[in-house]
Every structure is written in structure tokens, then in C-alpha cells.
Amino acid sequence: MKTVLVSGAAGFLGSHLCARFLKENFHVIGMDNFITGSKKNIDFLKKNQNFQFINHDVSKYVEINNDLDYILHFASPASPIDYLKIPIQTLKVGSLGTHNLLGLAKAKNAVILVASTSEVYGDPLVHPQNESYFGNVNPIGPRGVYDEAKRFQEAITIAYHRFHNLDTKIVRIFNTYGPRMRLNDGRVLPAFIGQALRGEDLTIFGDGSQTRSFCYVDDLIDGIYKLLFSNYNYPVNIGNPNEISIKDFAQEIIKLTNSQQKIIYKPLPENDPLKRKPDIDLAKNILGWIPKVNRNEGLKLTYEYFCSLSKKELNLKEHQNFKSYNKLL
């Protein structure tokens, strides 16, 4: 039986990856320190005898006694609310954490796939964005800690590939949604649904003309799985190119939730991207991958998940205050 290590296992994407690899008959070692992940996300995995969990911060030295065949590095804050509150941890997990896991992959002769992001393109000046675009990023802006952590992550990963001949994969993830997203993580989809469920007006930052392209989580996980077993070592966009403006998306959420809320407008945060749409030609050509779940279907499944949350979870405005983590810096 092959063994895979998934960092960030208790997060949204990490928990889905663990479930997929267990389904594919892998021994899965999940690793997380719960700074943004949730124990609830992995409770259902613990019943599986092929799942092992280690509570650890990958920014510190990582020691695994097992043989490892694959490593997937998905540990990182991924929402603006989080990485604006824990900027140093965000930079450390993208730099030190990546370095630690690359070293582990080298020692174990394992394939490593790292989770990058469409944020490496910043506020793009080309549309849609393909993998050859270098991006338009402000390295010292409020969002720069996440963008630059991921850009460094890509750079050191490719350096290990070129210098040590390590088998590396890099996935550039575009906006993804689905069950086990945090309702209070600040991203537009859970924010809108949470506001609708609580009877609050939907908040749009800016005039609503900015665009996003939303990919359902099952499609994303399938693309990542295909990339891991491909022969391609450089960045690949995985996302759904079906683009929509935030204003139109708010109307879709109001219709989906059958709510009567108004839309209110607030100033756009600094360096918030105005457009986001993946060019997925590379994924189509080398992976044979395309997204299959349309937005209407995916939103219904996601809405059902959020409706299943307790009243306490629904009204929880903050994930945690991070004070105990910030004391350690």
C-alpha cells in the first residue's frame, strides 16, 4: 500500500484530499496544527484504519518514520481574514514549511505536490491568466504575505526539481468552494451564504463589477489527483473558467437561499484583484482534465452543507483570535 502525507489535512481542501486518497486505497498521514483547520473536518476520517493523524506545525522540522511515496503540501492560511491576522505564520508555512517538506521528499525519494494559488498572478493585467504570466503583485501590500509566500514556495520547489532532480508538482488553485468551507473565512461565497442564512444584507466590496471563477471542490481534487500522477513538473492552473461578476453572484445567492436581503456596498480592500479567470488549456492538454460540476449544482450542495451547521456555528463570526499562536513569534 502506498503512503501519502497531506499537510493542512484538517483544512477545507486537505480534508477532501485525505478522503480521496483513502478512497483510492492509500495509507494517509494527515498533518495539521489546527491554526486554521478544524478537528471536525477530519473526525469522519479517523474511523478508517488507513488514516493516521499527527498534530504538528510544518514550519518546524518534520520527522516521519514511515516510508513515504507522496507528499501534498496544503498547509497555509488561505483567506484574507486569516493571513491578515497571522501574516508571519503565513510567510513561514510557505517558506520554512515548504523547505521542510521538500527536504523530507528528498530524504524519502517521494513525489511532492505543493498547493500554489491564482494569487501569484496578483491583480492581473492579462485575462484570462495562463501559467506563463508572471503576475502583478505588490510584495508589501496587506495581501503580499500570502502572494509572496506562494511565489517563494513555487521558486524553491522548482529549485529542488532542477538542482536535486526531485519529482515536483505545482498546482495553481483558483477560487474553490464546497462542503467543509469555513462559513466565517471571509471569502465571498461563504460570506454571502452566511449572511443570507442569518438574515443579514449581503455585503459587496467595491461596485461588484470585479469577477471570480468558482470551481467545485470535487473537480479541483480530481485535477490535483491527476496532476500528482502526471509527468509534468511545472505550475498548472486548476479552476473553473466560468466567470461571473460579484454583483451577479450575489443575486444568484439570494435566489438560491430564497432570501429577501438587500445588497450593500463597502470600499474595496487594497490590492483586491479585479478579475480572476483561469486559462486551463494546459490542464486539458496534459491531464485530460476539465471541471464537470456546474455552478448551480455545486452551490446547492454547498448550501445544503451550510444549512446543516448548528446555530452556534452559523453565528460564529470569527474562527479564533490567534493570540496563542502570535505569542510564539
pLDDT tens digit sequence for 299-327: 999 999 999 998 888 888 766 667 666 66
Domain presence at residue 305: no
190 CB-near residues (< 8 Å, 6+ apart): 177, 181, 182, 183, 184, 306
Are 54 and 104 in contact by the 8 Å Cβ rule? The answer is no
CA dihedral in degrees (180, 184, 185, 187; nearest 10)? 100
What is the C-alpha end-to-end distance of the chain, expressed in Å?
Answer: 39
Q: List b or e across 211-234, with b for residues whose CB sees 16 or more CB atoms inside 10 angstroms.
A: bbbbbbbbbbbbbbbbbbebebbe
Please indicate whether residue 265 is annotated as part of the active site: no
Residue 114 within a domain? yes
26 within a domain of the structure (yes/no): yes
Question: Does residue 172 belong to any structural domain of this protein?
Answer: yes
Cis amide bond preceding 128, omega within 30? yes
Is there a domain that residue 321 lies in?
Answer: no
Residue 328 maps to a domain: no
Looking at the chain, the number of H-run helices and the number of E-run strands are 12, 13
Listed as ranges, residues in the chain with pLDDT below 70 are 318-321, 323-329
DSSP, res 237: E
- If one counts the domains in the chain, the total is 1
Backbone φ and ψ for 172, nearest 5 degrees, come out as -95, 105
Secondary structure of residue 276 in the 3-state scheme: coil
Domain span including residue 159: 3-181+215-241+276-293
Calpha distance 41→14 (Å, rounded): 9
Q: Specify if 141 maps to a domain.
A: yes
Q: Which amino acid is at 225?
A: Y
Which helix H or strand E contains 275, and what residues bound it? none
pTM for this predicted structure: 0.95
Point out the catalytic residue in the list 70, 83, 146, 225.
Answer: 146
Reported as a single tens digit per residue, the pLDDT across 216-275 is: 999 999 999 999 999 999 999 999 999 999 999 999 999 999 988 899 999 988 777 888
pLDDT at position 329 is 65
The CA distance from 296 to 289, in Å, is: 20
Task: Tell me: cis bond preceding 190? Omega within 30 of 0 counts.
Answer: no
* Position 195 in a domain: no
CATH at 155:
3.40.50.720
Q: Which residues, listed in sequence order, are joined to residue 136 by a DSSP beta bridge?
A: 122
Integer angstrom CA distances of residue 153 from 97, 121, 288: 9, 14, 26
∠ at Cα 287 (283, 290), nearest 5°? Answer: 60
For residues 278 and 241, the answer to whether their CB atoms sit within 8 Å is yes
The predicted pLDDT at position 327 comes to 61
